[in-house]
């Protein structure tokens, strides 16, 4: 797998080929499937346990309209958010306007300003969005900037799971701020 920095638009702008051709034959690989490493995943119960955490560690990376309950995307049972989420972050905060990744020092500066976080902090940072996809952008950026991967958790069930299973006390709706 490769990261296409800047996405397909950057690829085209660089004049690189966009037509498919037969890939060259390669020697058989040696990769072996292993059980899923769940160390990077946050579960519903681990997110619920953050409710009483002294230090904010849960980040909502959905759009402002999702966060405020003005928009409910398909799959979610209702609008709202997890009440003890530390803050809302833009899922693409570590990318430039053209889609390319910011360098490590820029990511660390943004993380200091927006998250009060440093790579050496001894805290797990947990991210959720609608279904655990946008979160990976922030996790990737932080990892590239020096955060230990084992300290970055993706709540894979995210809002879709939470909205279906949570009690009313575990959901903050737009009316309650």
Count CA atoms closer than 13 A to 58's CA, side-chain side.
Answer: 22
Helix residue spans in 7-79 (DSSP H): 7-13, 44-49, 64-67
Check 54, 78, 129, 143 and give the catalytic one: 129
Q: Which helix (H) or strand (E) holds 125?
A: strand 125-128
Active site residue 143: no
- Of 44, 117, 108, the residue nearest 86 (C-alpha): 117
Going by their DSSP bridges, the two strands 152-155 and 125-128 should be labelled as parallel
List the beta bridge partners of residue 153. Answer: 126
Q: Encode burial over 110-135: b for 16+ CB neighbours within 10 A, e otherwise.
A: bbeeebebeeebeebbbbbbbbbebb
Just list the catalytic residues. Answer: 129
């Amino acid at each position: 797998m490769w990261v296409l920095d800047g996405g397909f638009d950057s690829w085209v702008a660089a004049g690189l080929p966009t037509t498919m051709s037969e890939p060259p034959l390669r020697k058989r690989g040696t990769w072996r499937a292993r059980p899923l490493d769940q160390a990077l995943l946050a579960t519903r119960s681990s997110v619920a346990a953050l409710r009483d955490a002294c230090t904010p560690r849960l980040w909502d990376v959905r759009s402002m309209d999702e966060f405020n309950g003005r928009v409910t995307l398909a799959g979610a049972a209702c609008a709202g958010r997890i009440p003890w989420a530390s803050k809302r972050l833009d899922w693409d905060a570590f990318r430039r306007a053209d889609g390319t990744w910011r360098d490590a020092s820029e990511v660390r500066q943004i993380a200091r300003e927006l998250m009060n976080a440093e790579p050496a902090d001894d805290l797990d940072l947990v991210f959720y969005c609608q279904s655990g996809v946008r979160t990976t952008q922030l996790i990737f950026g932080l990892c590239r900037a020096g955060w230990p991967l084992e300290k970055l958790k993706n709540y894979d069930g995210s809002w879709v799971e939470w909205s279906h299973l949570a009690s009313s006390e575990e959901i903050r709706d737009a009316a309650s701020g």
